[in-house]
Structure 1
């Protein structure tokens, strides 16, 4: 996760991130519960931003980070909006912790396949005005 994030950040002149075991522990707790929704700040005493992604089939770390980046092409600096992409490249963010669970059977009820859920937490959070 860290290498994928830092590769993207380097392309956008954002400082490299440092891995946070505390954020990774929170991300793992959320992934273990197979919650395919945002956690609303309950996973850490630190404030954090969050990206989540899920899919069935082969959905590894690089695919998850690529899915976070899916809205990069539609980003317009003259009319900025917040997104998974902007959280990844947010320049004030300094740490990240991520985790995944490959055994989430309740995320896509119409599928008989297990889903993989990826969760990344960021501190300080991005996507804030100011």
Structure 2
């Protein structure tokens, strides 16, 4: 049962990412179990406080926290990140003043080819932490998510 749920969660994360990438003209990502393990290891390290702190690892990384009472799905988490597209200005390659759009640009980053995600239940019983890792990572200063790798 648990293995089946994990497979469904994996497919939902991957499909949600690839739907967003297709809408932006980017190629599909593949699921990478090594990235998923890295995401899981980092999420487990944060489960005692569930602070949305980046790992500082070698990959691109998106982090999300949600309350236990919220009806969570991987698709909904990715959709929240993709909603940041409303704040991304492609002509200036920047986010609107005081707005976030880096989760979105990481998802659609052209050079990125793989993703792996994990979710852990916070020790405080108040919510869950989701971490997605991307390889190669994106969001480099002066580069657009639409640039093709050189």
Both proteins in one fold, TM over 0.5: yes
Superposition TM-score, scaled by structure 2 size? 0.73
Name the CA distance, whole Å, in 2 between partners of 1:64 and 1:105. Answer: 20
Gaps of 5+ in 1: 42-46, 107-112
Partner of 2:91: 78
Higher helix share: 2
**What count of residue pairs does the alignment treat as equivalent?**
118
Residues 109-130 of structure 1: per-residue CA shift (max 9 Å, x gap): xxxx521111000000011145
* Secondary structure of 2:138's aligned partner: coil
The match for 1:38 among 47, 51, 54 is 54
Partner of 2:78: 65
Superposition TM-score, scaled by structure 1 size? 0.83
Name the CA distance, whole Å, in 2 between partners of 1:91 and 1:54. Answer: 26
CA RMSD of aligned residues (A): 1.5
The match for 1:122 among 130, 134, 138 is 134
Structure exhibiting the larger radius of gyration computed from Cα positions: 2
Where relative contact order (Cα < 8 A, 6+ residues apart) is larger, the structure is 1
Partner of 2:32: 20
Q: CA deviation at 1:90?
A: 0.2
Gaps of 5+ in 2: 1-12, 95-100, 144-150
Partner of 1:44: none
Partner of 2:97: none
